[in-house]
Amino acid sequence: MNINHFTESLREALADVPVLDAHTHLVGGHLGARGLHDILLYHMAVSDLYAAGCPSGARLTQYPGWPSKEEAHARIKEALPYLRYVENTSISWGIRTILKDLYDWKEPITADNWQKLDSMIRERADDKAWQRSVIGKAGIQKFVTEHARKEQEQDSDILQYSLEWAFFTRCQWGEFDTALYELERCWGELPGPPTPIGSGGRPATRKIIASVEDVHEAIAWYVNHMPADTILSMATHISTDIDFRQVSDEDMRSALTRRDKAGSEERDIYASYVNEAFLTAMERKLGGRVVFQFSYGAEPLPFETGSRLNQKSIAQLAEMIGRHPGLQFLCTLSSRHANQSLCTLCRELPNLSLAGYWWHNFFPSAIRQVMEERLDMLPTNKQIGFFSDAYCVEWTYGKLIIVKNELARVLSEKVLVGQYTMEQAVNIARQILFETPQSAMGMLPITVRGKK
């Protein structure tokens, strides 16, 4: 038998493996695409188009707002001349897969037909039966989405939640006091949505951090108001640009006096101090009840991010995780070359696990490399095999098709050389796609007739 035989057999077998999607941005009650823009102009597709010369590189209006029909149509028309230049990309493959499998649309998108396709998608935008049929076709049992997108707990039978509120350790383009601002905007408030990437102007906050005591009071507020009973994790980003270190109260006090002229030195002090104080408070109050989920390896550019990571950051990350053994850490990595390093950390840090293929890793060749390294280096209960990072169920479907296709290729190579039997390969796929999200994050599968 050759590898093609094994790959095809595994594709068929993986189609029946249930999946838990460990990280999305789905909105309760609005799971489906609102129009063609939600599929064609998913932010990863926008980056493709921007690279090809399309004038707009920014995302469309983001939640809690929705793009108006006028905005969506203007952006689609703007993108049309550039579609021919990006048909080679894997994201465009995902778009074609979604349109073919879910809408039976097999034609290229043109100036003459896009409105027909847009109308077809808009007709189904609020069709809950349609949304559930897409989910059933994908074989996804449950999703984790943002706590702020609960929308009166609509679709709560298939949604679980992660708190994305403050990003103390994420750099923003041209900012040096982000850690302080993120803490200020949450202090005295109830949990809400996060600050978007590249948000530009910052709304004024009701409270201002002027002292070390203020920092600790604000962190206490934040931790005490984390909805620990209704979330599985809190999601944030750890920036490789920050030089993380232990910061004394005295150094923090001094840095606070320089906030109006802060640079990279002050940024590193603010982020290091706030982060360590937050991890300490979270570990003390919540322990292992809420997973500390963080993205890693994507740094800000004017509209989105680029993949960057250095070895010094990885060493600092190891020290950070090692200082807090009472917390469970889950990393979503966007730097292909750093995967092997992160795997070695997971082997020696029992409270660190890895999840999926995030952003700049979500391309078939990178996915295969990440999969192969993790399968060779890590126990299956230290790796979550899929999360979509999607904003509509159509993209959860499209991304899962890509992941399962690449997983079948990786597993077939291991079957071919005798590393796995076919039975072992399918069992391993079930573990990383379905079982590990339960053990590492606390996701709950759908129970049918009293059985899981």
pLDDT of amino acid 6: 86
Q: Which of 432, 391, 409, 345 is nearest to 60 (CA)?
A: 391
In the block, tokens 């465009």 appear at 92
CA distance 362 to 421: 27
Nearest-angstrom CA–CA distance, 103 and 183: 44
CB 440 within 8 A of CB 328: yes
Question: Is the preceding peptide bond at 437 cis, omega within 30 degrees of 0?
Answer: no
What pLDDT does residue 200 have?
63
Given a contact cutoff of 8 angstroms between Cβ atoms, the answer to whether 76 and 36 are in contact is yes
Contact 168, 272 (CB under 8 A): no
> Measuring CA to CA, which residue among 234, 228, 212 is closest to residue 168?
234
3-state helix/strand/coil string of 176-237: CCHHHHHHHHHCCCCCCCCCCCCCCCCCCCCCCCCCHHHHHHHHHHHHHCCCCCCCCEEEEE
Q: What is the pLDDT of residues 162-187, one digit of tens each?
A: 999 999 999 988 899 999 999 999 99
- Local structure of residue 421 (DSSP, 8 states): -
Closest to 159 in 3D by CA, of 21, 307, 330: 21
Sheet holding 291-296, edge to edge: 19-21, 140-146, 159-163, 233-238, 291-296, 329-333, 352-355, 383-384
Burial of 16 (0-12, 13-18, 19+ CB in 10 A): exposed
Give the per-residue pLDDT at 199. Answer: 58
DSSP state of 27: B
Look at residue 85 in the predicted model and tell me its pLDDT.
98
* Cβ neighbours of 252 (radius 10 Å): 19
**37: Cβ contacts below 8 Å, ≥ 6 apart:** 60, 67, 72, 73, 75, 76, 118
Q: In this structure, which amino acid lies at residue 135?
A: I
Low pLDDT (below 70) residues in the chain: 1, 198-200, 447-452
42: DSSP letter: -
Residues in contact with 432: Cβ distance below 8 Å, sequence separation at least 6, in sequence order: 380, 383, 384, 385, 386
Range 86-108 burial, b when 16+ CB lie within 10 A, else e: beebbbbbbbbbbbebbbebeee
* Inter-residue contact 400 to 383 (CB < 8 Å): no
DSSP letter string, 342-398: HHHHHHH-TTEEEES--GGG-SHHHHHHHHHHHHHHS-GGGEE------SSHHHHHH
Cα(38)–Cα(392) distance, integer angstroms: 7
Strand, helix or coil for residue 172: coil
